[in-house]
């Protein structure tokens, strides 16, 4: 069963496709599972909209769906922009507080 | 053949980098980033526990926990400390998946490097990397594994993007 194969394998399969397109054989190379198992993982990823493929002759070349990665990236981008802006304000406030304390001490 | 440029491009797409300067000595910048995370984290909107969150805590050591504390005293893990080098650098494991669960087997790295650019100015080089790992996990959830039936946040963003592509 798929879940017996382990989620980490599917994660590895997807990670191999980050930023490059590969045929099944090359994705499977070096992974501790059979090629049909890798194909099954690819099917799950494809059904979820996370990978795409194109047929080249008799081979299918898989790649990560850039739209899916981009959606995640822009979500986190907005989150960190906001959080880090808050951090900068607090760091500068804390620096002013410390400087004031030191002036009062001297 | 994989080239250095190719690898760099992969990193560009699977990580977020932010560099900025703050008017604070680096000891203070490091301390506010870690010890005083509660003061700047948008807890009202970004917490994963059931209770309203009142604190974001980074335990000051390698292997320390990174978690939120709820107003009812509950603690919800976010990740852990991978490197602790005050006041120069902190490396955190963000273990919150795309469905807002903390999973000890899931790791993306959040790093902040603090460089003094003057006696009271610090450059902060921030990076959240391994973002591709969210995708594989989202696929598991979408496929019905580990699913609690709840779709929200990042997962919805994925689903929308996938639908737009179809």
Interface contact B139-A45, CB threshold 8 A: yes
ipTM (interface pTM): 0.79
Q: Which residue of chain B has the CA closest to A10?
A: B136
Mean pLDDT across B37-49: 88
Which of B28, B40, B46 is nearest residue A79 as measured by Cβ atoms? B46
Interface contact A71-B28, CB threshold 8 A: no
Q: What is the pLDDT of residue B11?
A: 62
Interface contact B25-A49, CB threshold 8 A: no
pLDDT at B152 over 50: no
pLDDT at B59 over 80: yes
d(CA B75, CA B56) in angstroms, rounded, equals 10
User: E strands along B6-107, which residues?
Assistant: 16-22, 53-58, 65-70, 75-85, 89-94
Q: What is the pLDDT of residue B124?
A: 96
Q: What is the pLDDT of residue B138?
A: 59
Could you give the count of Cα atoms lying within 13 Å of B121 in the half-sphere of its Cβ? 5
Mean pLDDT across B28-50: 91
d(CA A40, CA B70) in angstroms, rounded, equals 41
Tokens of A12: 């590895």
Class of domain A2-64: mainly alpha
Mean of per-residue pLDDT scores for chain B = 81
* Burial classification of residue B63, based on how many CB atoms lie within 10 Å of its CB (0-12 exposed, 13-18 middle, 19 or more buried): exposed
Q: Where are the domains of chain A?
A: 2-64, 66-106
Helices A66-105 and B132-142 cross at an angle (nearest 10°) of 120
Chain B, window 66-105: residues with a beta carbon less than 8 angstroms from a chain A beta carbon: 98, 105
Grade residue B116 by pLDDT with cuts at 50, 70 and 90.
very high
Q: What is the pLDDT of residue B99?
A: 66
User: E strands along A1-106, which residues?
Assistant: 22-23, 51-56, 59-64
pLDDT at B1 over 80: no
- Contact at 8 Å (CB) between B144 and B110? no
- Greater pLDDT, B9 or B118: B118
Per-residue pLDDT tens listing for chain A (106 residues): 233 234 667 777 877 886 688 999 899 887 888 889 899 888 888 877 778 899 999 899 998 887 777 777 777 888 899 999 999 999 999 999 999 999 998 8
Q: What is the pLDDT of residue B8?
A: 61
Which of B33, B120, B137 is nearest residue A87 as measured by Cβ atoms? B33
Chain A, window 76-95: residues with a beta carbon less than 8 angstroms from a chain B beta carbon: 76-77, 79-84, 86-92, 94-95
Among B60, B14, B26, B18, which residue's Cα sits nearest to residue A15? B14
Q: What is the pLDDT of residue B141?
A: 46
C-alpha distance from B135 to closest chain A C-alpha (Å): 7
Contacts of A77 (CB under 8 A, 6+ apart): B16
Query: What does the CA dihedral B133, B136, B139, B144 come to, rounded to 10 degrees?
Result: -100
Query: What does the CA dihedral B72, B91, A80, B160 come to, rounded to 10 degrees?
Result: -90
- Contact at 8 Å (CB) between A18 and A3? no
Helix (H), strand (E) counts: chain B: 4, 7
C-alpha distance from A42 to closest chain B C-alpha (Å): 10
* Burial classification of residue B55, based on how many CB atoms lie within 10 Å of its CB (0-12 exposed, 13-18 middle, 19 or more buried): middle
CATH number at B13-131: 3.30.530.20
Residue A52 forms contact with B (CB below 8 Å): yes
Q: Where are the domains of chain B?
A: 13-131
Q: What is the pLDDT of residue B139?
A: 54
Q: pLDDT per residue over B66-111, tens digit each?
A: 999 999 999 999 999 999 999 999 999 999 876 677 888 889 999 9
């Amino acid at each position: 069963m798929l879940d017996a194969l382990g989620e980490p394998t599917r994660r590895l399969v997807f990670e191999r496709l980050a930023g490059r397109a590969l045929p099944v054989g090359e994705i499977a190379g070096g992974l501790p599972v059979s090629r049909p198992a890798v194909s099954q993982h690819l099917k799950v990823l494809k059904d979820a909209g996370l990978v795409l493929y194109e047929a080249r002759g008799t081979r299918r070349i898989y790649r990560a769906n850039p739209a899916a990665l981009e959606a995640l990236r822009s979500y986190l981008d907005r989150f960190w922009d906001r959080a880090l802006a808050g951090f900068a304000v607090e760091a500068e406030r804390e620096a002013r507080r410390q400087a004031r304390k030191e002036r009062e001490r001297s | 053949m994989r080239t250095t440029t190719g690898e760099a491009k992969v990193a560009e797409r699977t990580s977020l980098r932010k560099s900025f300067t703050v008017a604070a000595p680096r000891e203070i910048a490091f301390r506010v980033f870690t010890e005083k995370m509660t003061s700047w984290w948008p807890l009202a909107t970004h917490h994963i526990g059931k209770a309203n969150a009142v604190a974001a805590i980074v335990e000051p050591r390698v292997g320390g926990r990174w978690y939120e504390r709820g107003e009812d005293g509950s603690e919800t893990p976010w990740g852990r400390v991978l490197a602790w080098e005050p006041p120069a650098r902190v490396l955190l494991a963000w273990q919150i998946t795309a469905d807002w669960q903390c999973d000890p087997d899931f790791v993306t790295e959040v790093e902040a490097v603090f460089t003094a650019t003057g006696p009271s100015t610090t450059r902060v080089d921030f990076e959240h990397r391994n973002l591709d790992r969210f995708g594989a996990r989202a696929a598991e959830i979408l496929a019905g594994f580990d699913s609690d039936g709840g779709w929200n946040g990042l997962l919805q963003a994925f689903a929308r993007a996938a639908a737009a592509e179809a």
